[in-house]
Amino acid sequence: MTDVHESALMDGIFLQQMVNGLTLGSVYGLIAIGYTMVYGIIGMINFAHGDVYMISAYLAAIGLAVLSFFGIHSFPFLILGTLIFTVVVTGVYGFVIERVAYKPLRNSTRLAPLISAIGISLILQNYAQIAQGAKQQGIPTLLEGAWRFNIGSGFVQITYTKAFILLVSLIGMAALTYIIKYTKLGRMCRATQQDRKMASILGINTDRVISYVFVIGAAMAALAGVLITLNYGTFDFYAGFIIGIKAFTAAVLGGIGSLPGAMLGGLILGVAESQFSGLINSDYKDVFSFALLVLILIFRPQGLLGRPHVAKV
């Protein structure tokens, strides 16, 4: 009986961590999209992207506070208004970062934009610390309640907030996939990714396309920022560093430059991290994520859905 009880308990933990992992992984995927889109277009990593997510968390809290001040307390209107506000303002941040840190260095060495992005990252961190303080900030729980499913002697709980996060993440990924595959903007993005010079010759304003990509990536990070803030309720000025590295790990895992790869990598990393945390040791979950990044770079640097780089002669 003891073995049966332990087996049922482990099954419950496994399934609960699977739910947690899918929720976390969907958010990783949203942030990873920003890394992979920028890399696909200009071949460089935007190391300020994690801090764009951090800024969006603060903006989400500000949006919620302002709407609540004006008497809007209904969850659908409250979250919709917050999403619109956060996505729009964070998109402006993405546009400004591209114009300030990347466009002036478009024709310089590859190292210069990298250093510039790191500088923007530090600026955003210090800006948030000075403007909002170094203490951890928080918001109250907006969507209470959960579904419980009995598993043997235990149960699996899916909170309404986690279900909402999964739903919104899937909608965001589906909408972005549609834009990239079936719209004029998507065709311009794909053309610029394949051959920027030829796309320019064909009449595509590649500078504008690159700016659009930064705005789209920032908007996806903003969506993730709102969702994570709803789920955990706390954030600080340093929140973008760790989650930014993990989202970058997800992008590399799926194949940097591949949009489906970013989504797949986020889900795999989220599930793997949650299972490690629940079944082995939660204290070393960050170490596990970074070790996974090292292993990917060693054994499959192109990622799961990425293609090996072939030098053209």
**Which pLDDT belongs to residue 7?**
60
Tokens of 150: 């009995």
**Which pLDDT belongs to residue 14?**
79
**Which pLDDT belongs to residue 11?**
63
Q: What are phi and psi of 158, to 5 degrees?
A: -120, 105
Q: Look up residue 102 and give its DSSP letter.
A: I
Cα angle, residue 259 at apex, residues 59 and 200 outer, rounded to 5°: 95
The strand pairing partners of 138, in sequence order, are 234
| Longest pairwise C-alpha distance within the chain | 73
* Ranges of residues in the chain whose predicted pLDDT is under 70: 1-12, 151-154, 307-313
Q: Is residue 149 classed as helix, strand or coil in its secondary structure?
A: strand
Q: Which domains does the chain have, with CATH numbers?
A: 2-299 (1.10.3470)
Specify the residue for token string 């209904």. 74
Q: How far is CA 310 from CA 233, 260, 306, 313, in A?
A: 45, 21, 12, 9
Against a cut of 0.85, is the pTM above it?
A: yes
**Which pLDDT belongs to residue 311?**
44
Rounded-to-integer distance, Cα 50 and Cα 304, Å:
22
238-296 confidence digits (pLDDT tens): 888 888 888 998 998 888 888 888 899 999 999 988 888 887 877 888 888 888 888 88
